Amino acid sequence: MTVMTDRPHMLTEDFEAVARIAARERVGTRLEFIDGVIRSKAMPDGDHGRIIQWLIKICMQTRPGLFLHPGQGIKVEPYRQGRAIPDGVLAHEDAFVGQGDWVEPEPVLMAVEVTSWDSDTRRRDHVEKPRAYAETGIPVYLLIDRAKGEVSVYSQPVGREYKSIHIVPYGTEIALPEPVGITLQTDVLKDWVR
């Protein structure tokens, strides 16, 4: 099958309408629109959800006033035509009040993804998402890879990539650079993998 990359599968507005219907019908996946292509993202399992809870707690304890907003849709890519649903976005606690399903990315300090067990997680979380988040100017991208047992911190977005990528195995301390300014003790992640 050939995928056409020179033009989007549909208009962004049409994607948003389809995504709203899918969310309302609770079809078991969340839809994203990156590089003009519709992608489905599996609903999180219990360990995935526990990792997000752990991060929310750390963020609230170390950065009062900021909140890790789980599952907030954001506009991504250079002209904000893409639509991504990170597992979490770190921003001021009231950053998205009064906005719709897809928010402007300027208040986002960090996007977080925790890998799932679906077949396209590698392409989505290691290739498409870092590129989309870098293009959008999100300062930090945190990727928790459950299959590899690694934590990756991407920072310093320039164009379509992050200039700094720091990867450590579970059990290693890792600093999330400014504007996040949090250090994670990753030992506990060993408990939330298959």
Q: Pairing mode, if any, of strands 110-114 and 140-145?
A: parallel
The per-residue pLDDT for 177 is: 98
The arithmetic mean of pLDDT across residues 141-155, rounded, is 96
Q: What whole-number distance in Å separates Cα of residue 26 and Cα of residue 48?
A: 19
Tokens of 178: 């400014």
| Torsion 81-127-7-43 (CA) sign | negative
The predicted-structure confidence for 27-67, as pLDDT tens digits, reads as follows 556 777 777 777 777 777 789 999 999 999 999 999 999 99
Q: Pairing mode, if any, of strands 82-84 and 73-76?
A: antiparallel
| Torsion 97-103-107-112 (CA) sign | positive
- pLDDT, mean over the chain: 87
**Burial class of residue 58 in the structure, from the number of CB atoms within 10 Å of its CB (0-12 exposed, 13-18 middle, 19+ buried):** middle
The per-residue pLDDT for 86 is: 95
With a cut of 80, say whether residue 19 has pLDDT above it. no
Question: Nearest-CA neighbor of 12 among 73, 72, 66, 83?
Answer: 83
The per-residue pLDDT for 67 is: 96
| Domain positions in the chain | 44-192
Tokens of 126: 């290691």
The arithmetic mean of pLDDT across residues 161-180, rounded, is 97
Main-chain phi, psi angles of 141, to 5 degrees: -120, 120
Dihedral, 35, 36, 37, 40 alpha carbons, nearest 10: 80
The per-residue pLDDT for 91 is: 97
- Domain 44-192 matching CATH 3.40.1360.10: the answer reads no
Q: Which residues pair with 74 in a beta bridge?
A: 84, 103
Which of 29-33, 71-75, 85-89, 174-178 has the weakest average pLDDT? 29-33
The per-residue pLDDT for 9 is: 64
Phi-psi region of 26 (alpha: psi -120 to 50; beta: other; left: phi over 0): left
Q: Decide if 69 contacts 109 (C-beta within 8 A).
A: no
The per-residue pLDDT for 140 is: 98
